[in-house]
Structure 1
């Protein structure tokens, strides 16, 4: 359940930042930054904080190679679905949602990898503290 929650928050972070609808930060900010500059900056900073938390945790848990590997698995799955005619890539809006889904899976797995590793191996991950 914890991994699912981490993925949902990653998906929301990415979808709130940008998606093919008009309901996202990029669209709203570009339309309202003149009238709502303080709010635009505040919301942008909150999104940046969310990205820093997710990216830092992901890089510490699975690293850059792990991120590429997870993204490769998701891309291969999309390729299989496309090859089996279960997925069409003609619609740019659908492609954008697929990209958001793929990136959110990478961030969700990275954020929850310590929990997965603990369940599989029984070993705890701890951060090293300089002393």
Structure 2
């Protein structure tokens, strides 16, 4: 038996979670920029999180997007660093954005800036993580939903 999702009325509960954790002292433009960069890593490395392409009633095609919500959180730098450590311990897929990346202009320099610093010394301003809901919730301990 197949289910027509367009007529489904109950909310979908996913077994997995895509979450972005931002340092709470970022300017609004930085929050948006960091979030966009971080989720691009999740979507390109984990194709299972991307849905089907979109199309409007006129037949105009649009790019596919994530098949599930992206939850955005904020926390202090200390909480962000702790979350990074927990994501590593749990071996969850993750993307990082460091303060150094605000001064770079393209991907090559971004990667070089991260590569130049040991993991424990990264000045993290953002972290994206994907995995089972419970594991992601444990990584985000101490964070709050972004207002």
- TM-score for the superposition, normalised by structure 1: 0.25
Higher relative contact order (CA 8 A, sep 6+): 1
